[in-house]
Amino acid sequence: MSGNVIRSGLGYDIHRLKKGRPFLLAGVEIPSPKGEDGHSDGDALAHALCDAILGAAALGDIGEMYPPSDPAWKNADSMQLLRGAFARVKQAGWKISNADCVIICEQPKILPYRDVIRKSICEALEIPIEDVFIKGKTAERLGSIGKGKAVEVFAQCLLVRG
């Protein structure tokens, strides 16, 4: 184990948006005609956070931990996956110092749901709400995201020795 007492991690995810699917961000369903397509429930924020915390601890990534080829993860609740990833990080002797995330999509607006999403993340990662932040951005109608075809998420976290 390295002697570092803090470690940063970066996670990224993108999901196509499809009519009739729920739009989920960290387990919070946001009213929208389209939601994330995917093998699991498609929760891009939960997936990016998994990769941020696993990466910071050098414990692999979400695809290794929950292979999409494994039918066990079909329609999986991604917050369960995040809790599982966090359990592994915690077992390795880390706790989360903070997490900060950017959600990029043309629709829906994220701001009205910001604090309920923060609360959902902080419960899963066992940190106070002040240590989690998220913000929504649009792609200024540019590219696939700007045309409303996908949602993209960047998640960054800092781990400290538990």
**Contact between 47 and Mg ion per CB under 5 A:** yes
Contact yes or no for 121/26 (Cβ under 8 A): yes
d(CA 128, CA 124): 10
> What's the closest the beta carbon of residue 130 comes to Mg ion, in angstroms?
27
How many CA atoms, within 13 angstroms, populate the side-chain half-sphere of residue 156?
5
Would you say 32 or 40 has its CB closer to Mg ion?
Answer: 40
Pick the piece of the chain touching Mg ion (CB under 5 A) from 42-50, 79-87, 105-113, 151-159: 42-50
Among 7, 11, 13, 46, binds Mg ion (CB under 5 A): 13
Contact segment (CB under 5 A) with Mg ion among 12-20, 82-90, 97-105, 142-150 equals 12-20
**Phi and psi for 81 in degrees, rounded to 5?**
-65, -40
